[in-house]
Structure 1
Amino acid sequence: MSTIQRRAGAYVLSHPLAFFLQTLKGFRANQGLLLAGAVAYYSLLSIVPLLMLVVVALSHVIDQDELLGTMARYLEWLVPGQSAAIVAEVAHFLAHRDVIGWVVLATMLFFSSLAFTVLENAMSVIFVHRVAIRRRRFLVSAILPYCYIVSLGAGILLVTLVAGSLQVLGEESLQFLGRSWSLGGVSGVLLYLLGLGGEILVLSSIYLVMPVGRLSVWHALIGGITAALLWEVARHVLVWYFSTLSQVNVVYGSMTTAIVVMFSLEIGATLLLFGAQVIAEYERVGRGEQDQAAQRLHTAP
């Protein structure tokens, strides 16, 4: 494996443009935008039920207001400018959670797992060379989304606790030689790094778990860092666009929130699958297959 990684790393460093173009070609051949649209659509159906399940479970451990505040802060990373609307729906649901029945709970579990199922199918298209060698058992595919939901809930619990500690730190000040320096700026930087680090870890975990077969941690980190950095650029562009140039509220009216969330999820899903394509191409060049297209799924004309 180390030989493959060295070969792949040497190729990427010596031919970065060729590797980038090769990745774009593979992404287009795999109909990446079409796959991203499917992932974004089912993510739109899944995001609110998933958050409701997580918040209902964690509200027994963490203060509800603190949990919703943390969720609103980091939802801005996923749906810039629209986190308040989503958190408001989750808060409204929490206010009436005493009427939750088993049917509603089962429905929420089903819809919250849809995005993971579709994402797994999209990954199987990009990593078709792995599927051709080894297929995942049906039971594993059925259980995997719910295991990931539990892991995501544990991650949100950890982030909430750490973010709360950093906010308390921001209210303190440093006294030295008769001068006082507020730690608010340090707290803000640490909160941003916490969000970025969490984003990279979540993306890397998706790349580590979703593709069939065993993926090295290094390859998963390559995809996670690539997708996270691209999303950071896209996120700031989206915030600037929707706050200055966009007239989407004039065109779509009451549907604005759904349209903006869908658009953000579409871009996020595209970058997520592009990161997976980077890993797939990295594996191929590591095995000396950069000139062979036989193992790639060609559906584009």
Structure 2
Amino acid sequence: MKLFNRRALAYVGTHPMDFLLQCLKGFRANQGLLLAGAVAYYSLLSIVPLLMLMMVALSHFISQAELLATVGRYLNWLVPGQSKPIVEEVGHFLDHRDLVGGVLVVSMIFFSSLAFTVLENAMCVIFKHRVAIRRRRFLISAIMPYCFILSLGAGMLIVTLVAGSLQVLGEESVWLFGYSWSLSGVSGVLLYMLGLVGEVLVLTAIYLVMPVGRLSLSHALIGGVTAALLWEVARHILVWYFSTLSQVNVVYGSMTTAIIVMFSLEIGATLLLFGAQVISEFERVGKAPYRRTAQPMTTQAVQK
């Protein structure tokens, strides 16, 4: 199997601006901002129940303090500067988890899967050329969100173990040329790279599984790297903006945290779907003939 489509690579290499413009036109035609708003809204509903379920399951293997520290560190990648209140809520839930009943657990499982369901529907709009050929069975669509939750739980377990080892490494020092060199800087760089690699892998897994049909691993990796790099730029801009220029706390008061989290999720969902649009256009470029005009998503019935 070829790693990349040569026709697509040749087109993107010779017409990078045309390809970018076509991605933007396709994203606008598919009403990407509207889809991102739906994904962000349901992600806001899902994030706390999902974290609670994962923490309850993983607390049987790892200490609660270490889990919360790891979640707080990497939750900043998703909601920059607003991980503390979310981690506090999860910590309060873990302190009273013995009082949790079966009805609450079932409702948490349901709400934690909503974001994946809406994301799958958004992917169907962006990859409509795949949906026109074949459709996914209902049973697979129903099971997929819970498989993602299990996969995220396993990934969180691995990340927590690796992050703990890197933190221990940061407390060590090396004697070289008569000087003691602390490894704290190396540990910080490795923790950052661990988060970045984990982000790329999660995005690649989403692009690999969510669209209908078999998607090439190389294409999914292109979308994952694109979305991850764009989010890294946006994340640093958000941190700078909310710490220096923003007056959102004056306008919204006690609702500040929810507004900032929603805004961050909106931008993240937009970049996630734009990465999917890049994959979709890359697939179309690799097939001849390639139409440059984007086909808009219609919301009204076609009149005869």
**Equivalent AA in structure 1 for residue 139 of structure 2:** L
Determine if contact 2:204/2:220 at 8 Å carries over to the other structure: yes
SS of corresponding position for 2:150: helix
Give the aligned partner of residue 49 of structure 2. 49
Q: Is the 8 A contact 1:48 1:86 kept in 2?
A: yes
Say if 1:223 and 1:276, in contact at 8 Å, map to a contact too. yes
Superposed displacement of residue 297, structure 1: 4.6
Alignment-mate amino acid for residue 11 of structure 1: Y
Q: Does 1:125 align with 2:125?
A: yes
SS at match of 1:205: helix
Matches within 5 A, 1:230-269: 230-269=230-269
Contact 2:81–2:239 at 8 Å: present in 1 too? Answer: yes
Please report how far the alpha carbon of residue 4 of structure 1 lies from its aligned counterpart in structure 2 after TM superposition. 7.0
CA contact (8 A) 1:123 1:273 kept: yes
For 2:43, what is the secondary structure of its paired residue? helix
1:133 is paired with a residue of what secondary structure? coil
- State the distance in 1 between where 2:177 and 2:293 align: 67
Paired residues for 1:164-203 under 5 Å: 164-203=164-203
Runs (5+) with no aligned partner, structure 1: none
Deviation of 1:292 after TM superposition, in Å, equals 5.6
Aligned match of 1:155? 155
Q: In the alignment, is residue 298 of structure 1 matched against residue 297 of structure 2?
A: yes
Match of 2:146 in 1: 146
Q: Distance in 2 between matches of 1:266 and 1:20?
A: 21
Residue 179 of structure 1, CA deviation? 1.6
Q: 1:288 aligned to 2:288?
A: yes
Summarize the alignment of residues 56-71 of structure 1 with structure 2, pairs less than 5 Å apart.
Answer: 56-71=56-71
2:290 match: secondary structure: coil
Residue in structure 2 matched with residue 225 of structure 1 by the alignment:
225
Contact 2:196 2:228 in 1 (8 A): yes
Look up the match of 1:112.
112
Contact 2:208–2:216 (Cα < 8 Å) also in 1? yes
**TM-score, scaled to structure 2:** 0.96
Pick closer, same or farther for the CA change 1:180–1:263 going to 2, 3 Å: same
C-alpha RMSD of matched pairs (Å)? 1.5
Q: Which amino acid aligns with 2:42?
A: Y
Show the counterpart of 1:77. Answer: 77
Counterpart in 1 of 2:277? Answer: 277
Q: Which runs of 4+ in 1 moved over 4 A?
A: none
Cα distance in 1 for partners of 2:298, 2:8 equals 26
2:205 matched to which residue of 1? 205
Q: Which amino acid aligns with 2:5?
A: Q
Query: 1:101-132 deviations in whole A, cap 9, x for unaligned?
Result: 11000000000000000000000000000011
* Alignment check: 8 A CA contact 1:128 1:297 kept: no
How far does residue 298 in structure 1 lie from its aligned partner after superposition? 3.2
Residue identity in the other structure for 1:250: V
Q: State how far apart, in whole Å, the 1-side matches of 2:292 and 2:220 are.
A: 23
SS in structure 2 of the partner of residue 2 of structure 1: coil
Query: How big is the shift at 1:180?
Result: 1.3
| Deviation per residue, 1:262-287 (Å, 9 max, x gap) | 00000000000000000000000001
Deviation at 1:183, TM superposition (A): 0.6
Q: Is the 8 A contact 1:28 1:300 kept in 2?
A: no
How far apart, CA to CA, are the structure 2 residues paired with 1:97 and 1:231?
A: 34
Instruction: Letter of the 2:170 partner, please give it.
Output: G
The answer to whether the 8 A contact 2:224-2:275 is kept is yes
Report the Cα distance in structure 1 between the residues aligned to 2:179 and 2:71, rounded to whole angstroms. Answer: 36
Kindly tell me: are residues 3 and 54 of structure 1, through their superposed partners in 2, closer, same or farther at Cα, counting changes over 3 Å?
closer
Summarize deviations over 1:147-191 as a string: whole Å, max 9, x none: 000000000000000000000000111112322111111000000
